[in-house]
Amino acid sequence: MNYEEFIKKHKEQWHFFLSELFVKCPEDAGYIVELMRAIHHIVEFRKLLLKFSPKENGDEDAEGYQVAQNDSTIVFLFNLSAAQLREVLKLFYLFTKTKSYLNWVPTLATSDKKEIEYINKFISDFEKKDGFLFNVLKPLRDSVFHYDPKSAKVWVEKIANEEKNEKPPSYSIDVKDMLFGPALEYDNFLFSNYIFFGSDGLNSLGKHEKLILETQDKLLKVICLFVEYLINEAKIPKRQFGWLNEYFYGYNPKS
């Protein structure tokens, strides 16, 4: 990035002190920072998924092996991003109880309120112990962020029993590269069970993947809308490069 590009980017951004940004809602600062961090994590997951998405490959063994490696990484990243989505929705639910949220919602356009209603529907279903958040994202999150030997043992016993049939699948371990076939396959099982096939098998093929991505998109939009509202409420201006020089001796907000 050259100097001209840097200055252009600087002008597109807002620059401020935290005491400016949270001047009207200091009590909600923790929720807001965590929501920003949650959105950042969603964006980073998206970048990683894009990076590891398989491209067009030939039939060379080495290339095929690399695609297989990427596939296992994609499953792992998607499991993580789906589990993290549950945590973001939980955080958003807590945020809906804050003064900042209650002051913000009435200012929204009707179309933007519908985005929030979409998210709140997930939360409402969860409180009833039903719906996508409770039946899919919660158990997936529990499996991804907590290691459960009992559940893994049930999976092993099921597979071992199926191996009595014709042409059973086999597994490989490469200790040098720390690639453990059973672990990768168990990750794939969790992914298929909760996301790829879902509870309806082939009838819900890819349905949950699409729902996760759509919900992430709506969360990205909603939280960005709130941050813009926060910036406008705080009356933070677009500042020129070098603005910090004015505050060499500290920032003292005007009374």
Q: What is the pLDDT of residues 26-58, one digit of tens each?
A: 999 999 999 999 999 999 998 988 887 765 444
In a domain? residue 6: no
Query: Quick check: is 45 in a domain?
Result: yes
Whether 4 is covered by a domain: the verdict is no
Q: Which amino acid is at 210?
A: K
Checking if the pLDDT of 255 tops 50, the result is no
Q: What is the pTM (predicted TM-score) of this model?
A: 0.80
Residues linked to residue 7 through DSSP beta bridges, in sequence order = none
Question: Residue 2 falls within a domain, yes or no?
Answer: no
* Res 190: pLDDT: 84
Whole-number Å distance between alpha carbons of 212 and 208: 6
Residue-averaged pLDDT of the chain? 84
Report yes or no on 200 lying in a domain: yes
Between β-strands 173-174 and 179-180, what pairing exists: parallel, antiparallel or unpaired? antiparallel
Q: Structural domain tally of the chain?
A: 1
The CA distance from 10 to 17, in Å, is 16
- pLDDT band per the 50, 70, 90 thresholds, residue 215: very high
Tell me, yes or no, whether 107 lies in a domain: yes
Within-domain flag for 191: yes
* Distance in angstroms (rounded) separating the CA atoms of residues 224 and 39: 9
From CA 250, how far away is CA 237, in angstroms rounded?
18
Does 121 reside within a domain?
Answer: yes
Q: What confidence tens digit (pLDDT) does each residue in 96-119 have?
A: 999 999 999 999 999 999 999 999
Q: Which residues 6+ apart lie within 8 Å of 160 measured at CB?
A: none
Query: Hey, what's the torsion of the CAs at 113, 126, 212, 220, to 10 degrees?
Result: 40
- Please report the pLDDT score of residue 227 as a whole number: 95
- Domain housing 82: 16-54+62-246
